[in-house]
Amino acid sequence: MAKKSALGRGLSSILADIDKVYEKELGSSENRIEEIDIELISPNPYQPRKNFDKQALEELAGSIKEYGLIQPIVVLKKDEFSYILIAGERRFRACKFLKKDQIKAIVLNVDDKKLRELALIENIQRENLNPIELAHSYKELLEIHNITQEKLADLIHKSRSQIANTLRLLNLNEQTQNFIIEGKISQGHAKVLVGLEKENEKMIVDTIIGQKLNVRDTEKLIKNFKNKKIEKNSGRKYQSMIKLEEKLNTLEFKTQVKNLKLTIDFMNEDEVAKFIKILD
């Protein structure tokens, strides 16, 4: 119990670092702002964002070209000639797009675990991750700190239901997840797909894309699909009940089947004893 509390405090501390990193680090004697050769900086291996909008990066590059890099990136210094990017990958990519030789950066000294946490939190708090990237970020934070969804919700100021619903997207098959990343289906579509059998999920997804269904139409489609499946299964069960009725009738028991209800009328105790013997 004490271990989880300590981990929780650590995550709270990281959140505070991200929210106030620039003012905190500006006055730090250990961590300082430097002009660093871009070629010496490697991307953060724990960066959850995999897709960057090209147009948005070009617009950011145009802003940096006109006004300069107002907010420095944050890097981890590995050695004299090597740094790892912690926060500000869009700014970093935009400067590379401009073919800049150097970039303004706050230099930190943190261990690998905190590096991973900083990347995840920085993206959750500051970037518009797609739903799948966000789900992976939530999952990693839960695993790193071994905490509940409720605790994570408190720490990152999101509702527990929002976290739970986002995490459920990871239960969708890989192709569906890719469609979400590519924007071919929305998170609203994805939420109603969770829980379907994989084969049915693919069929519904193909229908969404092929017929350009909105979320409401998709909900209706899935509802109708589930109702038909229930009717089909009920039909199978009903036939089974009919066969049972026929079998009992051959044994001279008076039976009646109505929907999924089987009624046996015993004429006397001997019939009850006979029925019990059959069950044995």
As a whole number of angstroms, the distance between CA 137 and CA 204 comes to 27
Burial of 238 (0-12, 13-18, 19+ CB in 10 A): middle
Place of tokens 């969404």: 208
CB 159 within 8 A of CB 148: no
H helices of 32-148, in order, are 54-67, 89-97, 112-126, 131-145
Question: Which of these, 211, 150, 178, lies nearest to 4 by C-alpha position?
Answer: 150
SS3 244: helix
User: Given 23, 35, 89, 143, which residue is catalytic?
Assistant: 89
What are phi and psi for residue 33, nearest 5 degrees?
Answer: -85, 135
As a whole number of angstroms, the distance between CA 241 and CA 244 comes to 5
Q: What is the biggest distance separating any 2 CA atoms in the chain, rounded to whole angstroms? A: 99
* Geometric angle at alpha carbon 229, from 224 and 230, rounded to 5°: 100
As a whole number of angstroms, the distance between CA 59 and CA 90 comes to 11
**Helices (H) then strands (E): counts for the chain:** 12, 7
Active-site annotation holds for 89 = yes
SS3 108: strand
Catalogue the active-site residues.
Answer: 89
